[in-house]
Amino acid sequence: MVSLDFKTVLEFVPRNVYESAQSDAFKAFDLLHGATGAGNGFLGWLDLPSQTDESLISRIEAVARRWKNEVEAVVTIGIGGSYLGAKCVIEALSGAFHSHVKGDFPHILFAGHNLCEDYMGELLEYLENRDFAIVVVSKSGTTTEPAIAFRLLRALLERKIGVKASAGRIVAITDASKGALRMLSDENGYQTFTVPDNVGGRYSVLTPVGLLPIALAGFDIRALVAGASVMEKACSERSSLNPALSYALIRNALYRTGKKIEILVNYNPRLQYFSEWWKQLYGESEGKDGKGIFPASASFTTDLHSMGQYIQDGERTIFETNILVEENVRQVTLGSEKNDGDGLNYLAGKRMGWINSMAQLGTMLAHVEGGVPNIVFKIDRIDECNIGELVYLFEAACGMSGYMLGVNPFDQPGVEAYKRNMFALLGKPGYEEASAILKKKI
C-alpha cells in the first residue's frame, strides 16, 4: 500500500499559501471528478481500473500464453505513452539482470520511440536469427517514428516467415474503426485491441497499450489492475486523506513559493524508468502557457555522486519527491574481515537494505536542512499491486495539479511544433511552403 508523508515540507510553505492551495485543490478535484474542466473528453482513465472487463484481460492473457512458447522476442512499437508505461512497469518488476524477461517468457524489446539508425540497425540484426512477434501501438498508424519502425520490422518478419504466417505474429493496438493501422489490420487479419478514444497516451498504462506488453513479459496484470482499483477508490474521496489530492496540493503550494523543479528520487534502480514515465506524464500535462513544474529525476545514491552537489548547494528552486521501498526481495549481509582494510567492519552483520535506508534518511535530512523540501511516498515492496497503485495515484494527482495550474492537463499542443518542422524538412507532401520558409533559415 502506498503512503504519503509531506510533514517536513510544511515549514517551507507559509500558512496562507497552503490554505489557498488547499482550496484550489478541492476545486480541481471537483473539476476532475465532475468532468467539467478542460479536456473532460479524455477522462476514461479515471474509472478504468474498476471498469476493466474480464473478457479483455482474458484476451490479453490468451495472446501471452500463445506467444510464450512460440517466440523468443516481442517488439513493442510505440512512442511516448504508447511505450513508456509498459516499459516502466516491466523494468520495475524485472530483476536488474533479467533484461526484460521472466522465466521462459519472450524478451520484450521496444522500437518506434526514436529515429536513430544505429538503434534500428542493431535491432534488425538482433532479430534476424530469432523468432519474434510484434505489438504495434498507434491510434492513427501514421505517427512517424512508430510507422517507420513498423514498416521495417514487418518487412523483416514477412521475409522470414511469409506474409500469411506473419499475420499471426502481429497484434495492433489502435483505433476502433478508423486510421491507417486499423485499415491495415483489417486487410491483413491482425488481431487487434482498441485504444479507448477517451484515454490519452500518457494515461494509457492500464489499457491494452500497457497491459499486453506487461502480460507478455510474464507479469500479473490482474494484480496490477487490482492495485490500481484500490487507489482509484482512495482517490475518489473528496477529503484531505486523498493521497492524489494531497500530492497535487503540496507540490503546487511549493510552486507558488518559487520551487519550479521537482526531482523524482528513487533508491532502487528498478524504478528508473518509472521516473521516465512520470516525467512524460507531468511534463506533457502541465508544461503549457508559460507555466508548469519542471519534472526531473535522480537515482540515489548513484546520482548523489554527480548531482548531489547541486541539489545540496545550488539554486533553491527545487524540491524532491521520494519513492521509498520498505521491503527487499533478497537479503545481502556484509561480512567481517580480519584486517578491516576498507574500514567497513563497523557494518559487519548489517544488511544492505538497512544501509540503504540510512542513506535515504541521511540524504533527506541533509537536503531539507539545505533548503530542499522532501515529499515521501512509501510502498511495501515492488510488485504488481504497489506499482498499480502508484500509477493510478500519479495519474489522478496530475489531472488535479494541471487544473490547479490553470491548464488543460489532457492536451499537448506544443508537441506539434517539432512535427511541422520535421515534416517540412523531410519533404512530406503538403508541407512545401513550410519547407521553403525553413530552408531560408538554415
What burial letters (b/e) apply to 21-59, b meaning 16+ CB within 10 Å?
Answer: bbebbbebbebbbeeebebeebbbbbebbeebeeebbee
User: Pairing relation of β-strands 3-5 and 374-379?
Assistant: antiparallel
Identify any residues that bridge with 325 across adjacent strands, giving them in sequence order: 379
Cβ contact 12:385 at 8 Å: no
CA distances from 101 to 79, 124, 181, 289 (A): 21, 19, 28, 42
Helix (H) or strand (E) holding 387: helix 384-405
100 among known catalytic residues: no
Question: What are the strands, taking DSSP E only, across 96-244?
Answer: 107-111, 132-137, 170-174, 191-194
Burial 215-249 (b: 16+ CB within 10 A, else e): bbbbbbbbebbbbbbbbbebbbeeeeebbbbbbbb
> Is residue 279 flagged as an active site residue?
no
Options 7, 305, 338, 440, the catalytic residue: 305
Of these residues, 91, 145, 232, 284, which one is catalytic?
284
Residue 284 annotated to the active site: yes
Catalytic residue chosen out of the listed positions 164, 233, 350, 419: 419
Catalogue the active-site residues.
Answer: 284, 305, 419
